Structure 1
Amino acid sequence: MTSRAEAIDPIVRERLACPQDHGPLIDAGDELYNPRLRVAYRIDTDGIPVMLIDEARKVDDAEHERLVSGQ
């Protein structure tokens, strides 16, 4: 099954960046993840990334390690 992150149009995905530091994001299932700030942005059920700073979810150390290791 394809994750929401994988389902984003490649042209759109290439242009998506973190709204806080403007850096690249990691595909993390149904979210896009910024490992520098340790925040995740959800992708709604319609496949639209919610790139709002106020809605970003903080990620703890254990989840951060899992996400950056690609597991």
Structure 2
Amino acid sequence: MERDSQLKLYGQVADRLKEAHTRVRALQVPEGVRMALSRKLLVITAAAKHDLPDAARRLDRLMKDLDEGRFPEGD
């Protein structure tokens, strides 16, 4: 049963990561900001391989920041 919930969470995180990548690509922000957001998404993707619940929490925070218009500073 635990494996089923893990697979379900993996599917949800994968779908949300796709959505996040699409949203980041569509943002009208300076390229440095877009790169910083892309790096965050890469970190979340890497975290999902080792700690799926933590990756889901990180992704939730990132999506909330996107919803509220809070973006990292670009280099």
Q: Give yes or no for TM over 0.5.
A: no
Give the TM-score taking structure 1 as reference length. Answer: 0.30
Give the TM-score taking structure 2 as reference length. Answer: 0.29
Structure (1 or 2) with the greater strand fraction: 1
Q: Specify which structure has the bigger relative contact order, considering alpha-carbon pairs within 8 angstroms and separated by 6 or more residues.
A: 2
For the pair shown, the structure with the greater C-alpha radius of gyration is 2
